[in-house]
Amino acid sequence: MPTVIGVVLKKAGKVYFFDPGSLRPEPEDKIVVETNRGTEIGEVIAVARELPAEEVILPLKKVTRLATSDDIAKDEANKSRERQASRVGHERIRKHALPMKLVETECLFDGSKIVFYFTAEGRIDFRELVKDLAAEFKTRIEMRQIGVRDEAKAIGGLGPCGRDLCCRTFLADFEPVSIKMAKEQNLPLNPIKISGVCSRLMCCLKYENDAYVDFRKRAPHMGRDVSTPEGIGRVIGFCAPKDAVLVGLEETNKQVQVLLSDIGPVDRQAARKTPEVTAKTTEPGRGSSENRKVSGDRNATPGNRPPRRRNRGPRRDPKKPDTETKSNEPKTSS
């Protein structure tokens, strides 16, 4: 198994694995590494450990060296250059009247490229802007369009909970969030209450979604009758964090919170079973009475006996005229 260390290239960024070789840096140490974009400086967040080959992308790039004081000073100078590039970029965008918003700038460690991150509603023709910026900074310029979530991660802010944005502090990747997750957690489907500062569904809806889905699978449905230690009742609410349901008792009309492990099903059909009925009759000639079971249509009890149909002949249709007519001639006798 390969030995790797976890490195982030910027705050709350994605974790990349590198081969430390003979080096054993500690967490929060600065190191210099080679990436697809060139030479960069990163921060160690995970010490050297062995991982299965299927969990990493081989071949791994090796750590160049531990960051020296000169490397750290160069990184600080690059940050100062990023602030200058951001200021100049805003001026050039206003000059060319482009419908775009500059969010962040990034200067690579070796100074070979400056990346401008922006948001826009559609495609932007920024060729003239790139020419002006390249002439100003005498280096390669890259314009990269990002989404509103990446914009919130770059700028930062406070969420509805009052804490720093998750994407700004610890979220490395954005996972898909759907409105179904809000329904599973019985949250109000008000876009204002379930949306973040980026106007998208809050990422924290994903955190407890698996727990709510598992709870829904084990909990009885709403309105179902259940048996509890305090009696029979009906489910009227859920409490997933406590793994319990809210039950309204039939006898006392009280509402109690019962754990899922303390409830059971209610079989109301078993109590409705019809008992066998015996009738005491006396048959003539025997002089004694016998108890016989009443069963079938012939010997059914009055309550269970089907209605007897009287034979009154064929029914006559009142709309159909009679085919036979009575004669008014008097009868003659011979």
The span from the CA of 166 to the CA of 176, in Å, is 15
Query: Tens digits of per-residue pLDDT, 247-272?
Result: 999 888 899 999 999 988 886 555 45
In a domain? residue 318: no
Beta-carbon-side half-sphere exposure of residue 75 (alpha carbons within 13 Å):
16
What's the mean pLDDT in 185-207?
91
Q: How far is CA 141 from the centre of its chain?
A: 40
In a domain? residue 325: no
DSSP symbol at 200:
S
In a domain? residue 213: no
In a domain? residue 214: no
- Report the pLDDT value the prediction gives residue 309, as an integer from 0 to 100: 57
Same domain, 99 and 119: yes
Q: Name which of 37-51, 166-180, 218-232, 308-322 the model is least confident about.
A: 308-322
Q: Name which of 34-48, 197-211, 224-238, 300-314 the model is least confident about.
A: 300-314
Residue 227, SS3 per DSSP: strand
Residues with Cβ within 8 Å of 55's Cβ and at least 6 positions away in sequence, in order, are none
Same domain, 93 and 134: yes
Provide φ and ψ at 137, rounded to 5°.
-105, -5
Structure-token pair, residue 118: 């922006």
What's the mean pLDDT in 12-20?
88
The range of the structural domain enclosing residue 257 comes to 221-270
In a domain? residue 296: no
pTM of the complete model: 0.68
- Report the pLDDT value the prediction gives residue 82, as an integer from 0 to 100: 93
Q: Which domain CATH number covers 263? A: 2.30.30.140
- 226 with 220: CB under 8 angstroms? yes
In a domain? residue 172: yes
Q: Which domain CATH number covers 93? A: 3.30.300
Residue-averaged pLDDT of the chain? 83
In a domain? residue 180: yes
* Rg, Å, the chain Cα set: 42
Same domain, 82 and 51: no
Pairing of strands 140-145, 113-119: parallel
Question: 234 falls in which pLDDT band (50, 70, 90)?
Answer: very high
Of the residues 247, 270, 293, the one at which a domain ends: 270
Of the residues 122, 146, 170, the one at which a domain ends: 146
Report DSSP letters for 140-159, one per residue.
EEEEEE--HHHHHHHH--B-
What's the mean pLDDT in 81-88?
94
DSSP symbol at 219:
S
- 124 with 160: CB under 8 angstroms? no
Same domain, 59 and 99: no
Same domain, 85 and 130: yes
- Report the pLDDT value the prediction gives residue 333, as an integer from 0 to 100: 46
Contacts 24+ apart (CB under 8 A), 126-132: 126/96, 126/98, 126/100, 128/96, 129/92, 129/93, 129/96, 129/98, 132/92, 132/95, 132/96
Domain count for the chain, please give it. Answer: 4
Across the chain, the runs of DSSP E, i.e. the strands, are 3-8, 15-18, 30-35, 38-50, 63-66, 101-107, 113-119, 140-145, 225-228, 231-239, 244-249, 255-259, 264-265, 278-282, 289-293
Compute how many other C-beta atoms are within 10 angstroms of the C-beta atom of residue 85: 23
